[in-house]
Homo-oligomer: A and B are copies of this chain.
Amino acid sequence: MSLTIKLHSHPRHSLNHPAARLSRPPSLNPTKIRPGPIYHANALAPLVYSHRPRMSSDGAARGPIKSSLIDPDGGALVDLVVPEAEAGPKAVEAESLPKVRLTRIDLEWVHVISEGWASPLKGFMREREYLQSLHFNCLRMEDGSIVNMSLPIVLAIDDETKEAIGSSPNVAILGPDGNSVGILRSIEIYKHNKEERIARTWGTSAPGLPYVEEAITPSGNWLIGGDLEVLKPIKYNDGLDHYRLSPKQLRKEFDKRQADAVFAFQLRNPVHNGHALLMNDTRRRLLEMGYKNPILLLHPLGGFVKADDVPLDVRMEQHSKVLEDGVLDPETTIVSIFPSPMHYAGPTEVQWHAKARINAGANFYIVGRDPAGMGHPTEKRDLYDPDHGKKVLSMAPGLEKLNILPFRVAAYDTVAKKMAFFDSSRSQDFLFISGTKMRNYARSGENPPDGFMCPGGWKVLVQYYKSLQAEEAAQAPVLSA
């Protein structure tokens, strides 16, 4: 997520605009979602940024707010972890089946699917789902309803594995360590056209896309879809599992806290005071709108990230300092890990990031500038138009029920000496600090301007980059006397 934060041009998309007050609290609000504003004579599919808050049909009459603030896609949250009593027998069955060995990223997807982040998906995609995802970014359900599904969630196998599976209807899946993870049933094996998959997912076939280099190029020429059963919840034993709340656990937590609005913030970078300003400001505005207890889901991505991103453990430590230092209020914030790997697929991926948060029970989603964006791998430009992410998200089939909150531009106010929302009337006072710039500060041990990030959080980053340099030094060749 970029460090510059942008105010979307269309007034209805900004919570500080009077129109936003149309968005009234559940107790005052009809269920129906209105179509968005009309832009043109031949208005096709207007941008719909902020829907009215959703409520359950019994509305104001109901008692304590349930996580039914927003329904999971498909109506029911998918949970593919088998009951403990069945785990034993199924483990025995798995022994007898052809085996598919997972990579680390495959296992992250098993984690994602098994906990229902991708509801209503019940396993790795079969060709029918794969094609809909690739061409339409959504799936049509039996009843004709549409759910968003922008990223192909697929499992690749090589020719030898396909050969070994033969005509078996089911296969066992093994983790990278060789341990049995679960079973894939009623499988379907189909061609893995990597070029087409990459082109339609990223909008480029240029070499050097991190996920492609890591997970697609080296993978097999076949995809295997089927219904997934997982023998036990996926754990990583990295000291961070307690942060990995499932959608079911998150919804329970939101109930426990009596949240009447949950706003999710997806990130894979350290939290600076510009982010904090935005999150606190969003809460303030939700309160102004009449919500009594808006809860922030601070939801760092925990799966695969590119080499120069800050590692998960460092980010989690940095985030906890941000809460310790009181920049974010622990009383109204839940910090949890989103187990998905990162595609860096811009407008296509931001839909996945939002859709997964619907399944986790968030009914508001803050969309960043250039979400899931990165530099073009071979050209000196952004891979995606920074505005396409929020535009595509606002029009994405199956996301109509989610309230989308666009970023406001925050930058360092050199007069007030703090991060503040950009004021164009005195633009000369504002300093934009990019992610690269921030990393360079930390690398060089130089301090960023006061008020850019809380001291505790900054210290974590400085220590991380110091340790990196120490490693590099240790690996450098030593001249013998």
Residues of B within 8 A of A128 (CB): 39, 44-47, 391, 395
Distance between Cα atoms of A206 and B39 in the complex (Å): 36
Residue A288 is within 8 A (CB to CB) of chain B in the complex: no
Query: From residue 331 to 353 of chain A, which have CB atoms closer than 8 A to chain B?
Result: 347-348
Residue A397 is within 8 A (CB to CB) of chain B in the complex: yes
Bits for A112-144, please: 1 = Cβ < 8 Å to B, else 0: 000000001111001111011001111111111
What is the distance, in angstroms, from A137's C-beta to the closest C-beta of chain B? Answer: 6
Query: From residue 378 to 424 of chain A, which have CB atoms closer than 8 A to chain B?
Result: 384-385, 388, 391-392, 395-397, 400
Distance between Cα atoms of A136 and B140 in the complex (Å): 13
Residues of B within 8 A of A147 (CB): 44
Q: Most chain-B CB neighbours within 10 Å: which of A45, A140, A348, A388?
A: A45
Number of interface residues of A (CB under 8 A): 59
Residues of B within 8 A of A185 (CB): 41
Q: Write the residues of chain A forming the contact surface with B, with a CB cutoff of 8 angstroms.
A: 35, 38-47, 120-123, 126-129, 131-132, 135-144, 146-147, 150, 185-186, 191, 193, 195-196, 199-200, 202-206, 227, 347-348, 384-385, 388, 391-392, 395-397, 400
Residues of B within 8 A of A146 (CB): 146, 397
Q: Which residue of B lies closest to A198 (CB)?
A: B199
Residues of B within 8 A of A205 (CB): 199, 204-206
Instruction: Pick the residue among B136, B200, B384 that contacts A396 (CB under 8 A).
Output: B136
Residues of B within 8 A of A123 (CB): 42
Known A-B contacts A41-B227, A129-B45, A135-B348; the reply to A195 vs B203 at CB < 8 A is: yes
Would you list the 6 A-B pairs with minimal beta carbon distance, nearest first? A45-B140, A42-B122, A196-B203, A199-B199, A44-B139, A205-B205
A196 & B191 in contact (Cβ 8 Å cutoff): no
A40 & B227 in contact (Cβ 8 Å cutoff): yes
Q: Which residue of B lies closest to A48 (CB)?
A: B140
Q: Most chain-B CB neighbours within 10 Å: which of A44, A147, A202, A206?
A: A44
Residues of B within 8 A of A191 (CB): 385
For this complex, 7 residue pairs linking A to B, each with C-beta atoms less than 8 Å apart, are A40-B227, A41-B122, A41-B185, A41-B227, A144-B400, A199-B202, A204-B205
